[in-house]
Structure 1
């Protein structure tokens, strides 16, 4: 599916700190998924500079594995797909409509990348996604089963079917909101497979369209074991596993650069402006 000849599984595992089994089974899938989420930050610094990041495996290795950088959904999930294929999983690339803050599902375009990981010998694939840059994102993959709650690394998710006019069923990933004690939609998708050229186009659009939120303000997150840290523009938000949230405004450019270095593990490119407006 992907040209992963320049992908180095050993280097990838060193980056995410994985020293477990290298088998194409559900336990390895969950473990590697969580390790990736904990190790590689989500960030949009290339898009903020008006540049569409490369999705070629060699460039992803250089940026996300060998440098103190992260990426956004297309980068994370393309890299993760290469790792899964190297382990022996079959992977299907999916597109999704992000519904967080949307009035309707149809009001959002298919701009998010997610994965289906097919485990040899298991009847159902797993929804895997290491690139959804939002609080409450999947920490572990979930089986493609409707109306069943799954708890992974302290977060609760479920998949439900939603009305859809197309020929394929539409699935909606929901996360449990601790504060509201309710389920909220994250993104909707069908099982139609997409290919790398499709994401080359979507990636360019999201990175360079001036109306894209990723091209307008810095957006960086790190998912730690004891906190979720998010820098969204000038707002720094820390969310604890018990739902406790603290917020403050970043004072200026120097502090933003220091936070990226010390709290997110990111070395920002020299000369770029992190805080705008």
Structure 2
């Protein structure tokens, strides 16, 4: 992933409300990771606005920073990779497959995550996931505000016994996704993005969602017309927004997203 130039790096940092670190460290990565999750929402609005998902460094920067939007994993982690590279981190893009509720793995290039400095697993593009990067050198459980995580070698039987050295990420004992350790480039994920943008089997095509972490450790989510606030201790409130203007106002107030029209579900939920 080609790093950003200094002007774009400073603009990205302003978008996050962050300052340029003196040098790239695990602590500075941790702070930027948290700032990204609090500031740049996970959102699939482009799919329901008829917009393409363009996976280039410049297009991702323009969407996240210039337009003040968010995105799905390819965009969010792609943008974060370009920022981290500009700040001196060594960043590798990893392709993953997400486990469904039935335990089955999703399509290849289902997900994009980042290996940073050979040690950290950073992921600002999975919605409700880790607040902080995971330590790939830690074989045991890792406590995070979002739960207890574990990174371990993936079971060989899932890939026909090929023994590819994949990694499995678990949250509270449940497998979340499986990662190949071979580095990729952003263009490799175009097919996965196309599938998520078009397939009726993709959860992203069934309705718009926009979500971010809050400063107090909770989460604010707008799913279709339902505004959901979840506190850090799990308390949850829901509000049904009755008018289009209320929905647009929620996008502006909670996510800083200004829309001239509302997203329409591509393949509505049953």
Give me the TM-score of the superposition, normalised by structure 2: 0.86
Q: Partner residue of 1:223?
A: 213
Q: Counterpart of 1:148 in 2: which secondary structure?
A: coil
TM-superposition CA deviations, 1:125-177 (whole Å, max 9, x none): 110111112x2x1211111146422234564322133312233223222223x
* CA–CA distance in structure 1, aligned partners of residues 265 and 249 of structure 2: 13
Alignment of 1:170 with 2:152, yes or no, is no
Q: Counterpart of 2:96 in 1: which secondary structure?
A: strand
Shift of 1:275: 6.1
Structure 1, unmatched stretches of 5+, are 119-123, 177-182
Q: Give the alignment of 1:52-131 within 5 angstroms.
A: 52-105=52-105, 108-118=107-117, 124-131=118-125
Q: Counterpart of 1:21 in 2: which secondary structure?
A: coil
* CA–CA distance in structure 1, aligned partners of residues 107 and 59 of structure 2: 29
Shift of 1:222: 1.4
CA contact (8 A) 1:207 1:214 kept: yes
What CA RMSD, in Å, does the superposition of the two structures yield over aligned residues? Answer: 2.4
* CA–CA distance in structure 2, aligned partners of residues 244 and 147 of structure 1: 32
CA contact (8 A) 1:77 1:113 kept: yes
Of 183, 205, 214, which aligns to 1:193? Answer: 183
TM-superposition CA deviations, 1:20-57 (whole Å, max 9, x none): 52412111111111111111111111111233222222
* CA–CA distance in structure 2, aligned partners of residues 167 and 37 of structure 1: 34
Alignment of 1:242 with 2:238, yes or no, is no
Shift of 1:250: 3.4
Give me the TM-score of the superposition, normalised by structure 1: 0.84
Q: Counterpart of 1:110 in 2: which secondary structure?
A: coil
Aligned residues: 262
CA contact (8 A) 1:100 1:185 kept: no
Flag the 1:32–1:157 CA change in 2: closer, same or farther, 3 A: same
CA contact (8 A) 1:50 1:215 kept: no
Q: Partner residue of 2:142?
A: 150
CA contact (8 A) 2:49 2:264 kept: no
Q: Counterpart of 1:198 in 2: which secondary structure?
A: helix
Q: Give the alignment of 1:30-69 within 5 angstroms.
A: 30-69=30-69
* CA–CA distance in structure 2, aligned partners of residues 5 and 208 of structure 1: 33
